Structure 1
Amino acid sequence: MLTRPEPNDDTPGHNDLSVLTVPAFKDNYLWLIHDGLHAAVVDPGDAAPILAALDEHGLTLTAILLTHHHADHIGGVATLRARFPVPVFGPRADGIEAVSEPLGEGDVVAVPGLNLELAVLDVPGHTLGHIAYVRKTPGLHWLFCGDTLFAGGCGRLFEGTPAQMAASLEKLAGLPEDTEVYCAHEYTLSNLRFALAVEPGNAALALRMRDESAKRAAELPTVPSSIGLERRTNPFLRYREPEIVDSLVAAGKLQDGAAPVEAFAALREWKNVF
């Protein structure tokens, strides 16, 4: 587990919030946002590591935040609420029975127990009701995006369409470049291997592969990343780039002259079998 304290400053409402990285299962990351006393958890697929982290750091859980309905994101909710009867924030249209505070695009969450507000975005594609949470405090931009945007990649289209996912990713790509991207899985190296296959001439991508490989060799997480880094290196934000389109055509995945959304769909289908 790694604590990521924010830099000290005297901005009103800063309140020294940190994000604690809690690994779970094979490659999930669960996120604990805390101020040293109270904590909110994002996508607690497993209760045990969250309870251990709360105990280790002397924290009291005050809220649960969910992005979508998959079991590795919600599986620990019942156990956590048995110990901490806290509100459960989550998408209003993703079929999660445990949600007590349903949310959608334009809503703002005042997180109980923390001096923290999170704006809600609808980001369908991975699931139809998937949402993301954005902190927009000047200089302290955070994104909790579940399985929509990954470091170097994006989620599979289990329910939504390529057009929906492409639009969702463009919405996230429009956030400030310094926004820290807290995605839910350690998929980065496999994502970057694919990215290099489709955009081998991207120097920023080659540098990123070197840096992220060093982190994994040292058993360090590669997330959070940043929106700026994703714009420069993530093929699912760059599917209009000529080199990526040419790679798709050369591999027989796309007809020359196809619409951009067709390039996105072909790119996602290729990644599924890469």
Structure 2
Amino acid sequence: MPTEILTIPCREDNYAFAIHDGNRTAVVDAPEAAPIVAALNDRGWGLDEVWITHHHFDHVDGLPGLRDAFPGLTVTGCGADADRLPPLDRAVNDGDSFTFGTDEVQVWDVSGHTINHVAFIMPAQKAAFTADSLMALGCGRVFEGTMEQMWGSLQKFLDLPNDTTVYSGHEYTMTNGRFALTIEPENTVLRERVLRIEAARAENRPTVPSNLGDEKATNPFLRAHLDAVKQALSMEQSDDAAVFAEIRSRKDDF
């Protein structure tokens, strides 16, 4: 059976993702237990694994409830951040990989939003679980790392194929899109995407996951290295990290 990936809205604007390979189920992040349990029960799925991207409460608070509902599940997270995470059954770090069913799952360090934030990449599924690193038309605030570190983390995603699906952690896309238009108001692909996003949200449809090709074409945080973006900011002589920092600082005040 083909692998199915289910988007599960949680809290006010969080997402968890359930990955089901026809036999086993993994969930990426646990913002709260009840909607995850309900979604899995609706499909008759159990829960075997939870993969945690970072320590923030809105990504881990549901873990105790999931452990209660599904005894014996395996929790995976960054070993380097184990002192800030719930108890881990499997500790992984940057460059590690593990298997889920027949799929390889790669672990990438994408620090910036937090130190030791990880992303989980499933190349065969063309899926990237990015949480609060790369987001739909945005990126997470730089709370713990540096701007240079966050820019370096985001650049890693540029090497993935355009048809990769990006599973990020929050429904921030409409605000992100409105901000992106302040950076590249003449980007016609961006303008068209924002219209689609506004229509989706008017119908209360999720805008996550997103397509990586769309992110490369419209997400200003992935585009700080491009001449057109530097020109728009009058930063033609600045290095890429400085341009990213300017964009992130503007978004913080948006």
TM-score > 0.5 by shorter chain: yes
Distance in 1 of aligned mates of 2:106 and 2:238: 35
Residue 87 of structure 2 corresponds to residue 98 of structure 1: yes
**Contact 1:202–1:233 at 8 Å: present in 2 too?**
yes
5+ unaligned residues in a row in structure 1: which ranges? 1-14, 250-254
Distance in 1 of aligned mates of 2:208 and 2:68: 30
Question: How far off is 1:184 after superposition?
Answer: 0.8
Residue 163 of structure 2 corresponds to residue 156 of structure 1: no
Query: What is the TM-score with the length of structure 2 in the denominator?
Result: 0.94
Which aligned pairs between 1:77-96 and structure 2 lie closer than 5 A?
Answer: 77-84=63-70, 85-94=72-81, 95-96=84-85
Cα deviations by residue, 1:34-66 (Å, 9 ceiling, x for unpaired): 135531111011011111112111111000101
Query: What RMSD over aligned residues (CA atoms) do the two structures have, in Å?
Result: 1.5
Distance in 1 of aligned mates of 2:231 and 2:102: 48
Q: Secondary structure at the match of 1:201?
A: coil
Amino acid at match of 1:238: R
Residue 113 of structure 2 corresponds to residue 133 of structure 1: no
Which aligned pairs between 1:217-228 and structure 2 lie closer than 5 A?
Answer: 217-228=202-213
Q: Which residue of the other structure, out of 22, 27, 43, is the alignment partner of 1:41?
A: 27
Aligned pair count reads 251
Q: Which residue of structure 2 lines up, in the alignment, with residue 199 of structure 1? A: 184
**Contact 1:37–1:58 at 8 Å: present in 2 too?**
no
Q: Secondary structure at the match of 2:150?
A: helix
Q: Secondary structure at the match of 2:76?
A: strand
Q: Secondary structure at the match of 1:208?
A: helix
Q: Which residue of structure 1 lines up, in the alignment, with residue 50 of structure 2? A: 64
Q: Which residue of structure 1 lines up, in the alignment, with residue 238 of structure 2? A: 258
Query: What is the TM-score with the length of structure 1 in the denominator?
Result: 0.87
Q: Secondary structure at the match of 1:61?
A: coil
Question: How far off is 1:256 after superposition?
Answer: 6.3
Amino acid at match of 2:121: V
Q: Secondary structure at the match of 1:126?
A: coil
Cα deviations by residue, 1:149-197 (Å, 9 ceiling, x for unpaired): 0110100001011111101100012111111000011111111111111
5+ unaligned residues in a row in structure 2: which ranges? none
Identity of aligned residues (%): 43
Q: Which residue of structure 2 lines up, in the alignment, with residue 117 of structure 1? A: 104
Question: How far off is 1:247 after superposition?
Answer: 3.7
Q: Which residue of structure 2 lines up, in the alignment, with residue 7 of structure 1? A: none
**Contact 1:30–1:41 at 8 Å: present in 2 too?**
yes
Residue 254 of structure 2 corresponds to residue 269 of structure 1: no
Cα deviations by residue, 1:85-127 (Å, 9 ceiling, x for unpaired): 211111112221322211112211212xx44321111111111
Q: Which residue of the other structure, out of 15, 26, 36, is the alignment partner of 1:50?
A: 36
Residues 256/232 of structure 1: CA separation in 2 closer, same or farther (3 Å cut): closer
Amino acid at match of 2:240: P
Q: Secondary structure at the match of 1:134?
A: strand
Question: How far off is 1:242 after superposition?
Answer: 3.3
**Contact 2:16–2:27 at 8 Å: present in 1 too?**
yes
Question: How far off is 1:230 after superposition?
Answer: 0.7
**Contact 2:37–2:69 at 8 Å: present in 1 too?**
no
More helix as a share of residues = 2
Cα deviations by residue, 1:61-95 (Å, 9 ceiling, x for unpaired): 00010100001101111221123221111111222
